[in-house]
Chains A and B, each alone.
Chain A
Amino acid sequence: MRILVTIKTALRALRRNKMRSVLTALGIIIGVGAVIAMVGIGNGAKAQIEAQIASLGQNVILIFSGSITRTGVHSGHGGAGTLTVDDAEAIRREIPGVSGVSPELRSAAQVAAGNQNWLPQILGEGPDYFEIRQWPLVDGAPFTPLDVRGATKVAVIGKTTAQQLFGDESPIGQIVRIKNVPFTIVGLLSSKGLSVMGSDQDDVVIVPYTSAMKRILGSTTLRSIMVQAADATQLPVVQQQLTELLRQRHRIQPGRDDDFTVRGQQDIAEMATAQSKTMTVLLGAIASVSLIVGGIGIMNIMLVSVTERTREIGIRMAVGAHGRDILLQFLTEAITLSSIGGVIGIATGVGVSKALSAIAGWPTLISATPIVVAFFFSAAVGIFFGFYPARKASKLDPIDALRYE
């Protein structure tokens, strides 16, 4: 077993030049550590986004007025005001797989309570909204279909808004003025945290959509309609039926573009995860550069080592070492450096991720795949960058090597 001897020889050579070995491995440690930490951050962000998408509610389909045309010209969702309350009623009436419908309006408006001012999102919604989004109240009660019918001046407010306007006082029964129209607060929502896009979902005042149309915005059309399918398997069918129903109601000729946009939750999720995936890949790519730089460091040191030990190589060859014994010896050194660097780098990367989570509050997610990949990649870096110097050593002529000063 010459291989065992070769490995032993290589390890001993590394031990002999401790400082040099440590510094060389440091290149790989930093590279692997950076990859692990960066991928951890990217995956953490992805997991957070996925959780936020789940917080949107289950089996949700959003219909926006306005369209993305086939020619690529985008008139913007909610721009053209093509959706009406009647459309929403028709959906509820005519599509069997639908379990909830909420017509929606949205605006940012000045809100005042006492001497406090705030600028939250004003949402006009149907009573189904709280059910669809699985958003329970912590105090009070949601508005009712009766409130919708009467366009009552009642509001449900989010945690952040309540905090800003009333501090720690209970907001229930208090009056807020939205664009100078007084609304009575009937309910306080539980906290939902950040949205997919990073905005504070708790900074809202939710009023019946009829009240929003008549009393605040003076609008006759809707921005969007939120629809919930009863069951995930029915989503594509419901989505199809929605589109057909609305085209029919809006009298759109076959071949013409829709004047509305239907977005399944899946689409939103895909868009958001595609973004975070891009980020993960980008971070990983940047980190990989440092791993390659580490590999070049190994190559550099191995080349120095081969030159320095030319005479040793000559002696080994003179007493019967084959070229491949020498090749293996130097390759083993390179691989050992890079894999030890890899293992320490993995530990460092995991540590850095945990530290970032703890100190900066960034969500990080360490999974087995990047760890295994990073380890084998670092070993591969050793083979790749160690091969050239090792081959150079193995091709030395013993006579020249012995004479080398």
Chain B
Amino acid sequence: MNAVIKLDDIRKTYHTGEVEVLAVRGVSLEIHRGEFVAIMGASGSGKSTLMNILGCLDRPTGGRYSLDGTDVSQLNTDELADIRNQKIGFVFQGFNLLSRTSALENVELPMLYARQHMHSHELREKALHALGVVSLSDRADHHPSQLSGGQQQRVAIARALVNQPALVLADEPTGNLDSRTSIEIMGVFQQLNDSGITIVMVTHEPDIARFTRRNVVMSDGRVVSDIPVTDRLFAGPELERLQALLDPALQTS
């Protein structure tokens, strides 16, 4: 009953000319409210395809996918767009913010496509609140080009949160960031997760996966391991440790 994601024998086959590519070959998975899951695997393992299906950007060719109690495996493109708008927040590796558009307006974007119309002051209020959650209220009027990578990713997280989705999906969210900023971003995710938000993240970095609570490993389109994280890392202490390592280096240089 509490499952946000319920996958039942999900399959995805691509037809490229004569060749059939079995990208996902029967994945069954349940993710519950409040979980923080990392999906891992080498490239070609099917994790990106699974991520696209989870994000309702793509439809499975077989199996059932129930998201927050709705069977989404048979919905049409417009219905999927509404599901994405209402139930899913996306965070991408390349941030994917609209350039030449302020952080605030970037965060407002999902609300513009919401089914019910909101007044502009209401949009602004909600967007500012979401920026506050990722501690970027003071950068609301900055354009992406005026923000650092970490700040851009935090704007993207604010955008993902603004429609209060059932699920936040992050696709390699630290892929374009240095290690320190990566830890900061993981800190943001941990903080959000602590407040009850369900997060699913795709990553190929085991160190980053250790910030989550559960690791699902894929290989050849199947789940080969699904275990809770026992030696979990926390962003606060990790940052301190990194600082301690860097400080002497800085002093000697």
Contacts and interface: CB of A to CB of B under 8 A. Distances in A.
B86 interface: yes
- Report, as a range, how many residues of chain B touch the other chain: 20 to 34
Contacts of B112: 2, 5, 9
B240 to A, nearest CB: 35
Contacts of B90: 318-319
Given A398-B57, A399-B57, A402-B92, A320 B110 contact: yes
A319 B98 CA distance: 12
A323 B113 contact: no
Interface in A298-337: 311-312, 314-323, 325
Contacts of A2: 112-113, 117
Nearest to A6: B112
A16 interface: yes
A353 to B, nearest CB: 41
Contacts of B25: none
Contact of A321 (B58, B81, B159): B81
A326 to B, nearest CB: 10
Contacts of B109: 315-316, 319
Contacts of A1: 117
Contacts of B18: none
Nearest to A8: B112
A321 B80 CA distance: 10
B115 to A, nearest CB: 9
A347 to B, nearest CB: 31
Contacts of A311: 96
B77 A402 contact: no
B84 interface: yes
A1 B118 CA distance: 9
Nearest to A315: B96
A326 B86 CA distance: 18
Contacts of A318: 55, 57, 84, 90, 96
Nearest to A321: B113
A402 B96 contact: yes
Contacts of A315: 96-98, 109
Interface in A1-15: 1-2, 5, 9
A9 B96 CA distance: 17
B57 A319 contact: no
A321 B98 CA distance: 14
Contacts of B85: 319-320
A311 B98 CA distance: 9
Contacts of A402: 57, 92, 96
A312 B92 contact: no
Interface string A27-39: 0000000000000
Contacts of B84: 318-320
B36 to A, nearest CB: 22
B114 A320 contact: yes
A320 B113 contact: yes
A185 B159 CA distance: 97
B52 A320 contact: no
A399 B58 contact: yes
Interface string B109-125: 11011100100000000
A315 B97 CA distance: 8
Contact of A322 (B52, B81, B97, B100): B81
B20 interface: no
B96 A322 contact: no
17 contacts: A1-B117, A5-B112, A9-B112, A314-B96, A315-B109, A316-B109, A317-B81, A319-B109, A319-B110, A320-B82, A321-B113, A322-B81, A323-B77, A325-B113, A398-B57, A399-B58, A402-B57
Interface of A: 1-2, 5, 9, 16, 311-312, 314-323, 325, 398-399, 402
Given A320-B85, A399-B52, 4 more contacts: A318-B96, A321-B81, A322-B78, A402-B92
